[in-house]
Every structure is written in structure tokens, then in C-alpha cells.
Structure 1
Amino acid sequence: MQVYEALVDLYIAGDGTETSTEEALACMEAAKSRSMIEMIFQSGQSLPLGEAGQSDLVRRIRDLREELNWYYHRIELEQLRPEEKSHQRLGSLREKAQLQEKELMRTLRELPAHERENATLEAPADFSLAKLQAHLPQDTTLVEYFSAGERLVAAVITRKEIQILPVTVLSRVAHSLQLLRFQLSKFRMGNEYVRRFAEPLLSATHSHLETLYSELIAPLRPFFEGRHLIVVPHGLLHFLPFHALRNGEQYLCDAFTVSYAPSATVFSWCQEKPASANLSSLVFGIADERAPQILEEAQSVAALLPKSSLHVGDRATSSVLREEGPQSGLLHLATHGIYRQDNPMFSGIRLGDGYLNLYDLYQMRLDARLVTLSGCATGMNFVAAGDELLGLQRGLFCAGATTLLLSLWDVHDQSTSQLMQFFYRDFLRTGNMAGALQHAMQELRRENPHPYFWAPFVLVGKLSDSTRLT
């Protein structure tokens, strides 16, 4: 990574020509794409094809995954114990699960080539600015941030122009982001606390959002064109709700519709992929004590979506997802996602019969124009909750999704249910995902003004083509 940072510095300090600017952007992309591709294409990442029983190794992998799901379930039950929670018992279960994970990874690496399936997201070719600009609509600006050491720079790209500009010092952003996360974490203290201190909570959060706006948006704002903004974060900026940053008078998402991308290369790949022609919808709802309203959310979403197939609780299984997922143009998963910072390959999504991890997602084939993961990672610390987005989005893109709707932090299940209804009603009417999310956030803000409630969700990937689904 330091090599790419040095090259970016070198090109930015160059003669300022279009060539040096494009080369700097290419290095920024190489650093980000390399991080993603190393995660996706590392040795042994793919699961074997076909039914269990093809070979001893395939059977061993099946058994290891079943054993892992058993450990994950026991760990979850232990964490939910109100008073009898045993840290020793929990530690023992986690240690045994980690041993199983290591054994699974070792076994996967032993698979011969003919028993593996490559991920569908191919390694990108050499970066092309012309290709990227061709994919940008006329009314769109793409902003790609990059941290080179302590300095933060940004490439501001429209269909006809590109500029790379200095932004701020990374330590100032890190400090403000830490303060913002601290404010959002206070919502775990319960409804009574939130009601009692509603005004100071909102005031403090606004202060941090305005500071971050002045650091990250204000230096670039004169160069934004059009009505839509694509944000490509880097490093700790992946934790940040750019759409909720404020200039003192309005949020960024009131001035622009906002979407995100892991890199400009991945954005171009998503834009190239044709929108799914499938009109059916698949809805999963896996509720628990931490999020009891997930069931109501799943039912209300299924009632809105065209040709919907609803599966809740124990019926929302991985086999149903494998069978119906490839024929579903819209996929809504109301459940919990987890990000494993110690071992990202075992990040996953909770289903009715266990956890669907990144190995499973890399093997799966989806044809959805939109995949929504409306749950959260309850119980994880706030830093890990942001990286949850990174782990799961990689797996879902590899499975074939082109646009994702995911949460940046642990979400409030009642406000999430309301936001999803607002979002889908508008999206089905207009076909515009970014516009629908903008309107849904504005509607929810009328009743719940704090960004904790209305701003956790981000739209990642392909810009919708405004094709109505009904």
C-alpha cells in the first residue's frame, strides 16, 4: 500500500497535466482494487460445486460447515443469556469455532482446481478514466477519496473533467469521526435515555456532522456538478455517512441524491452489467429478541413488492436462497449480518438454518438489480459495524448483485421498517433507487429527526436506470 501512496504523491506533485492526474487516479484505484481482489481471489476462496459426496474433501467441507454453524448458534445463545452469561464458556466456544475455521480454510486449499468455482467478479483490467467517465451520467459527480499517509486527497470526476484536490489532514477527520460514533453509540442506552436527552443528542451530533462537512465536503463543493453524488471512500471514511453531513443549514442528501462505491473500477463494472429482467421478489425475515419487528418489516415489504415470495424464521433457509435467488430481481433480507474483523472470510448473514458466510456468497449466483440487507450486527463494537459493510458487500457483488442497500451501524428495527416501506413505495413508482432513498430519509426525518434513525443506510453500486418494476 505504501508504494501506491508514494506514487500518488509523486503524480500529484508532478506537472499538473491531464496525464499525471490520470496516472495518480490509476494508482488510487490500484490500491483499492488490490485490497478487494486480494480478499476475493485469495487461495481457496471458492466452495466446491454440486452435491456433497463428490469426494472425501467435499464431504469434509460439508461437515466442517455444519459444525461451524452449530458453534455459531451456541455462541449466539450464550450472548443472549440475560444474567447467566459465562465469559469462560463463551471464550471456549469461540476458541473451538476458530479452530474449526482454520481447519475449513486448510481443507479448502487442498481442493483440486476442477472442484472449485471461480468468483464472478473478475480482476479489473488496467484502469481507464475514459471508460469511467463514459459510465457517468451527465448530472453526476464521482468523488474518490484517498489517504496518502496523513494527507487526504480527493479526485472529483465528472463526465468531462477530473481534478485531484487536497482535502484535509486525516487525524482531524479521525478525531471527529470518533466523536460522532460516540454520539451514535449512546442510543444503546435505551429508549428512556434517548427521549430524555433528545435535544442535546441531536445538537452534539449536528456539531460533529458539520465539522466533518467542513473538512471533507466544503473544499470540494465548488467542483460538484449535477444532482447526484457518488462517494468512493477510503480507509476510515468507509465508516462515515457522507449523505448526513451538514453545512449548517441542510444535509448533503438534501442537496444531492447520494450513492457509494468501493472503487471507481467496481462502479464501472456494476454500470456495465445489464439490469435484471426478473420481476419477482424474494423476501426473508429472521426475527429474534434483539429485533422483534423484523417479521413485521418482512411482511410489509413482501406486500409491496411484485410477485413476492416470503420466507420467515426457520423457513428462510440457504437452500431456498439458492433455489429462488437466481430468479429474483429484488432480494430483501431482514436479518442480522456479522463482520469478522479477525477473519473477514467468515463474515456472514444469519438465515433460518445457520449463517451464510462469504464462502457461500462467492459460490452463489444471484441476478438481482437490488439486494437489501436491512438488519445489523447487534453486539459488535462500532468500529467493526462499519467494516461489516465492506465484508458483506464484497460477497454480494461476487454473487452477482449490482446494487446493494446496506446499513453503516446497528439499526433501530422500528424506524428501519418505516424507512423500507417509504423506500420501496417510491422506488416501485419511479424506478430511481437513489431518489427513493433520499425521499425515504426525508420522510422518516419528519418523525425521527436524529440521523441515528434515518441515516444508517447506504446505496452501493449501479445507478438505477429508472425502469419501473410494476
Structure 2
Amino acid sequence: PFDYAQDKPFDYAQGRPQGEAWTGYSGGHGAGRFDPYLADLLSREEKLRWEMESLRRELRLLEADEGPILRSRVELHSDQPQALARLAELSQAYEEVVERLRLVAPDWLEAHSATLFSMQALRRTAMAYLSVRWACLSYYVLGEMLVTFYLDTQRLTVHRRSLNAYDRLALRQCTYPAGEFRELIYRGTVRGHRAPGDPGRTYLQHLYRLLIPPEAEDLGEDNLLLIAPHGPLHGLAFQALLADEKPLVTRVPLTYVPSLSALQLLLRELAGNDSIRRVLACGLSDFGSQASSLPHTADEVTALREVLREQLNVLWGSEATREALLRLSDTEDLAGYDVIHFATHAVLDHLAPSQSRVLLADDSLTLADILNLRLRARMVVLSACEGAMGQQYPGDEIMGLARAFFLAGARTVVASLWSVEDVSTGEFMGRFYRRLGAGEGVAQALRAAQVEMAAEGYSPYQWAPFIAIGLP
């Protein structure tokens, strides 16, 4: 039995501020378009976006882990420092406009119709729509305090723990986004060379004990564990946490949710038929001066063809354009696809997070573009670099490319927590789609692909970054 005295604090914590920000973007397209203030904001957003894109092209600016870099075949011109300063100015102005849109978007997108979060309502909804035994873990990292909520059909328990210096160190090491840290923690190597002591194994075992409460220990492979991260935990691959020597995913399928209130809304919209009939794959291997090539994306798309056959439509190479996707959206054809798969680069823009984008043949599909797409997809797959990570707002879920697709109408997004090795991505996706084709759900198919690769000797660095966000 649950402790009713704990229900109200739980309802408040789940409803605000996490769910409030998510529902602020959810809703129909087109509401409020005649509001003069909103129209002005949208006009300014578009103008700033195109001005930044034009300036970025002139500078051939890309993002690296350590910040912006210039990629030019000529020496640095005298006017480029001024251009960089102008780009920073535009980026700041753009973020201010986006923040104002965040404030007015709830009215624009009719979020006033969303109800406040209720733990009892979530229980009823989950029991009605989820056919397996389930449990939820929702986290809050509040300074040096970790609060973990455990919820299932019968119990609600709250664990509070003060984070000591070692706890905080383990969290930093396992969530730090830099590529070399990811390689060290999840593969035990640095630039391909074996690191002494295997610190990642020790940290992942410690975080399992810190983050997975005893109530979740009896969940099995036929059950479902829902994870609602907070703060730095958005960057943690929970599936790779080690119970002794075994990754968590070998025991139970996992699905991430932006918040439990968001899960409640998604479950209410769950359709009776979740079959996958039509899939659109959009892929590139050559990006010119924009980014490094991805030679194995062709193999990835070939693997999809072998599994999906006539169910698959492909936009490849010069056909994989922003214009083509926006046209499909405008004609409502994009809404007819059950799965949309991107085999291309994703770029996180550190100067203007809301300008994060998917690289395509003619232009970039920006976060603002994605939010305006008309989707009814069961799933969007981003087999790109760091598609799940993005700007974090305090008390809110990540504002990344994955979340943008989610809010555009996708019910599940499969994305990556860090830059993924190109060859292993194709291998992973082939296994994942074969499981989907056999009738397994997203969470079960994802788990099966990860367990198979782990059993065959692939490191967590290769299989653990892929996560499912949303419905299982």
C-alpha cells in the first residue's frame, strides 16, 4: 500500500515544473496565429534564424566539444572576428526571442486544456494502456540532495539521499558529454588505448546502488521500467548501470520519459493499433565541408531495406533535403508515416541551442523547423550524433532534437546520448528493426538489440547510447 501523505508532494513535483514546460509545447498546430504579439515573435525568430544561417555559411562555422571552430580554406580574414561577434549577438537575440515564445506558447498551443498531474490518474491510465507490469523511477537532483520517487500499481516510495563527494564525482564522470569521457567510462579506453583500472566499471556499479532502489530489484525481462531523469541524469545511460557485472538492460526493458506528467498525456493519446506499416528513411553519407562523411549510412539503409522491404520509402543523398521534408509535412504526407528514420549528422549549436539541427543535402532541418512539422509517427529514429542531448532548463527536461520531434507529434523517439561509432550504429539499427519487424514493441526491441550486442562482446560505448523516449 502507498503512503497517501506522500501523494501530494509527488503530484506537485511531477506536475511542476517538469510537466508544465513539456505541455507548454504540446497541442495542435496553428492556434493563436492571429495574435499580433505572437506573429511578431514568429517573424523575428524566422528573420534571426536565416541571418544566423547565412552568416554561419560565410564563416563555415561548426561546433566542437570545446566550442565553435572555423573551417576555412583560406587564412583568417580581418573581417571574420567582427562576423563572429555579430553571430554571437544574433545568437543572444535569437535565444531571447525563443524564451519569449516559450512563455506565450502555452496559449498558442492550447496547453490550457492540459490537466494538472495526478499520481492516481497516472496509475489508472498506465494500468489501462500498458499490458505489462511496470514501475516508474522519477529523479530530482537538488544541489547535494538526490530524491528518487518509485511508483508502481501498488506503491509510492520516496528515497532521499545526501550526495557525498564520491557520489557527485561518479555522476560527473558518467554524464560528462565530452567524447573522451564517454569512451573512458563506457569502453574503458582513451583514444583506443586501454585505460588502467577500468574506472567506468566502478562508477557504473556505484551509480546502480545509488539510483536503483530495492523496490525495482524484482523487475524482469517481461516487465517495463520507466525512467524520468532530472538535471545531469539526462546524460546518464541507465541501461549500462551495473548490478555486480550485469548491465541493467539485461534484466529489464527501459523507456525514458520527459516527465511522468508527459507520460500521462501520451498514454491518453495511445491508439489501439501500433503496427508499423510505412517507414520513411532519410539519409546522407557525404556532407562536403559541413561535417565528416558517414560512409556506413548506406549500409544502415540497406539493412533497413532488407527488413522492411516494401514498407520502406527512402530519401537518399541529394533527395534527402529540408525542402522535401517540409513539402511532405505541408501536404500531410509526412503524417502518414509510422516511423521516420534519420541516418545523418545532428549538430548541437552551443551558441544558440534552439538552432540545433539535422544536416541534410540542401540545408539544415532546425529545431524550429521540427517543431512545425505535422507528424503522427509512432516513432522517430535519430541514428545521428547526440540527438537526445540538448540545452537543459532548470527543473525541465532536455531541450534537444529528440524533444522537438516528440513535441511535433512523435510518440516515441529513439536517439543517442553521445556521438556513436558509425559502423556499430548500422549493426545496432539492423538488429533493432529486425526485432520490430518480428512484432516486438520499441522497448523490447531496443533491449534485445542491446543484450545481443553485449553478449557478442560489443562495449556499452557502442550499444548503450541508444535510448527510447516516450511510449514503449
- TM superposition score normalised by structure 2: 0.77
* Residue type at the aligned position of 1:22: D
- The 3 A distance-change label for structure 1 pair 347 and 47 is farther
Secondary structure at the aligned position of 1:76 is classed as: strand
Q: Distance in 2 between matches of 1:82 and 1:388?
A: 36
Give 1:174 shift.
3.1
Return the match for 2:374 from 365, 374, 390: 365
The Cα of 1:157 is off from its aligned counterpart by 0.8
Give 1:278-297 correspondences, 5 Å limit. Answer: 279-287=277-285, 288=287, 289-297=292-300
User: Residue deviations 1:49-107, cap 9 Å, x none?
Assistant: 89xxxx99988866654443333442139958499785988765543334445566788
One-letter amino acid matched to 1:291: L
Contact 2:281/2:312, CA 8 A, preserved across alignment? yes
Could you tell me which runs of 5 or more consecutive residues in structure 1 were left unpaired when the two chains were aligned: 1-15, 464-470
Aligned match of 1:349: 358
Kindly tell me: are residues 374 and 455 of structure 1, through their superposed partners in 2, closer, same or farther at Cα, counting changes over 3 Å?
same
- Aligned AA (2:445): A
The one-letter code of the counterpart of 1:301 is L
Q: CA–CA distance in 2 between the matches of 1:422 and 1:211?
A: 30
AA at the equivalent of 2:299: E
In 2, Cα distance between equivalents of 1:253 and 1:118: 40
CA contact (8 A) 1:338 1:349 kept: yes
For residues 403-423 of structure 1, the C-alpha deviation after alignment (integer angstroms, 9 at most, x for no partner) is 000111111111011100000
Where does residue 13 of structure 1 map in the other structure?
Answer: none
Q: Which has the higher contact order (CA 8 A, sep 6+)?
A: 2
Equivalent residues of 1:230, 1:261 under 8 A apart: yes
Cα distance in 2, alignment partners of residues 94 and 48 from structure 1: 35
Aligned counterparts of 2:141 and 2:40: Cα–Cα separation in 1? 47
Unaligned runs of 5+ in 2: none
CA contact (8 A) 1:365 1:399 kept: yes
Residues 289-368 of structure 1 mapped to structure 2, 5 A cutoff:
289-305=292-308, 306-322=310-326, 323=328, 324-368=333-377
TM-superposed CA distance for 1:236, in Å, is 0.8
Over residues 156-177 of structure 1, what are the superposed CA-to-partner deviations in whole Å (9 max), with x where a residue is unaligned? 1112321222245275443103
Aligned Cα root-mean-square deviation (Å): 4.1
How many pairs does the alignment contain?
A: 431
* 1:237-295 Cα distance to aligned partner (Å, 9 max, x none): 11111111001131100110011001001111222223467721111112342533223
Q: Distance in 1 between matches of 2:456 and 2:206?
A: 25
Please name the residue that 1:153 is paired with: 147
SS at match of 1:361: helix
TM-score for both structures, normalised by structure 1: 0.78
- What is the 5 A alignment of 1:37-186? 40=25, 64-73=48-57, 74-76=60-62, 79=69, 81=71, 92-101=82-91, 118-119=108-109, 124-136=114-126, 137=130, 138-169=132-163, 172-180=166-174, 185=180
| Residue 409 of structure 1, aligned match among 406, 418, 421 | 418
Is residue 212 of structure 1 aligned with residue 207 of structure 2?
yes
Q: Secondary structure at the match of 1:430?
A: coil
Paired letter, 1:284: C
Query: Aligned to 1:449, what secondary structure does the other structure show?
Result: coil
Partner residue of 1:31? 17
Q: Distance in 1 between matches of 2:386 and 2:79?
A: 21
Deviation at 1:360, TM superposition (A): 1.6
User: More helix per residue: 1 or 2?
Assistant: 1
**Which residue identity lines up with residue 310 of structure 1 in the other structure?**
V
Work out the CA distance in 2 between the residues paired with 1:80 and 1:101: 17
SS of aligned partner of 2:438: helix
Change (3 A) 1:413 1:448: farther
Change (3 A) 1:88 1:408: farther
Does the CA-based 8 Å contact 1:187-1:194 persist in structure 2?
no
* Aligned-partner residue type, residue 315 of structure 1: E
Measured in 2, the distance between the counterparts of 1:350 and 1:48 equals 30
Give, as a single letter, the amino acid of the residue that structure 2 aligns with 1:169: L
- 1:219-245 residue CA offsets vs partner (Å, 9 max, x unmatched): 554575872111111111111111110
Q: Distance between the aligned counterparts of 1:297 and 1:21, measured in 2?
A: 48
Say whether the 8 Å CA contact 1:144–1:155 is kept in structure 2. Answer: yes
SS in 1 for 2:250: helix
Identity %: 25
Deviates more, 1:123-132 or 1:329-338: 123-132
Tell me the distance in 2 between the aligned counterparts of 1:284 and 1:82: 28
